[in-house]
A and B are shown apart, each in its own frame.
Chain A
Amino acid sequence: TQLLEQSPQFLSIQEGENLTVYCNSSSVFSSLQWYRQEPGEGPVLLVTVVTGGEVKKLKRLTFQFGDARKDSSLHITAAQTGDTGLYLCAGVGTSYDKVIFGPGTSLSVIP
């Protein structure tokens, strides 16, 4: 069974601070995705990383896929209150039909 772990589970920071969220697994994935979910809504895809070692940037968000394609990190620079939400990592299996979600990191950015 493929499992994804995320750390930390909860994170509360001041606006303007930097933070990193981690996603780890003992399994290899064909790609890894990061979603953000706001209260009362479904998750929305932020990024997909496919190649081991890949780094993608979306404005203040930097995503990295581990060389062995088992782990990933999300770094947010100068957090804003609009970054508040639940961040979920998801591993896409090698058969491409299923996505396994991690438990999520709940981020609260305080003004």
Chain B
Amino acid sequence: NAGVTQTPKFRVLKTGQSMTLLCAQDMNHEYMYWYRQDPGMGLRLIHYSVGEGTTAKGEVPDGYNVSRLKKQNFLLGLESAAPSQTSVYFCASTQGLAGGYNEQFFGPGTRLTVL
């Protein structure tokens, strides 16, 4: 099993350009998440999905859109990139069981620079 994979690993954009980050998981997990990680701020939730065809906003959703058309994939889109979106982006998935044992499995991250 590959676990959680992210594409691409690195990307440089110019202000105003658009791009899509792809996350794929092969663990049949229900829940998937997109985070951004900035120095000193830990992981901040951008958007998440509790199942195929559903999405919800997290802490910092502005400037991003997501789609979950297939259970195994979760796409993060930047329509018009801004320098403030320079960050490392992590995707994660979890089975989503009640009871607190929601281990999140993370991808290796995508390092995005917006010039």
A residues sitting closer than 8 Å to B (CB atoms) are 1, 6, 9, 30-31, 33, 35, 40-45, 48, 50, 88, 90, 92, 96-104
Contact = CB atoms under 8 A, between A and B. Distances in A.
Interface of B: 4, 31, 33, 35, 40-45, 48, 50, 56, 58-59, 90, 92, 96-104, 106-109
Contacts of A88: 42-43
A92 B43 contact: no
8 contacts: A33-B102, A42-B107, A44-B106, A50-B99, A50-B100, A97-B50, A99-B102, A103-B40
A10 to B, nearest CB: 10
Given A9-B40, A42-B108, 6 more contacts: A40-B109, A98-B48, A101-B35, A101-B43, A101-B44, A103-B40
B100 A30 contact: yes
Given A43-B106, A50-B101, A101 B96 contact: no
Nearest to B103: A45
Contacts of A92: 100, 102
Given A43-B43, A101-B43, A103-B41, A96 B100 contact: yes
A95 to B, nearest CB: 9
A31 B100 contact: yes
A9 B39 CA distance: 11
Nearest to B41: A103
Please give me the 8 A-B residue pairs with the lowest Cβ-Cβ distance, nearest first: A42-B106, A31-B100, A103-B42, A101-B43, A101-B42, A50-B100, A45-B103, A30-B100
Contacts of A31: 100-102
Nearest to A86: B42
Contacts of A44: 106
A89 B38 CA distance: 16
A67 to B, nearest CB: 16
A30 B97 CA distance: 12
